[in-house]
Amino acid sequence: VLKSWSIGDEPTPVEIVDNKVYLFVGNKLTLSAVDNSGGVGVESSEYKIYKPSDLEPIEFTKYIGEIPILDLYANYNLKYRSYDFVKNYELEHFVEINPFNTPLGTNVSVDLGLVAGTEIKTIFKTVTALGLTKVDTVETVTPALPLSYELLGKYYDITTTAGFSETVKISMSNYAISVSSRLLHLEGGIWKDVTTTVDIVNHIIYGEVASVSYFAIANVKDIVPPETTISIGEPKYVTA
Decide: 196 and 167 in contact? Cβ < 8 Å. no
Decide: 104 and 144 in contact? Cβ < 8 Å. no
8-state DSSP, 121: E
Phi-psi label, residue 200: left if phi above 0, alpha if psi -120 to 50, beta otherwise: alpha
> What is the spatial distance between Cα 145 and Cα 230, in angstroms, rounded to a whole number?
36
Residues paired with residue 29 on neighbouring β-strands, in sequence order: 7, 67
Per-residue tens of pLDDT for the chain, all 240 residues: 444 445 444 455 567 778 898 889 988 888 888 888 888 889 999 999 999 999 999 999 999 988 999 999 999 999 999 999 999 999 999 999 999 999 999 999 999 999 999 999 999 999 999 999 999 999 999 999 999 999 999 999 999 999 999 999 999 999 999 999 999 999 999 999 999 999 999 999 999 999 999 999 999 986 667 787 777 767 666 665
Decide: 104 and 136 in contact? Cβ < 8 Å. no
> What is the spatial distance between Cα 196 and Cα 191, in angstroms, rounded to a whole number?
15
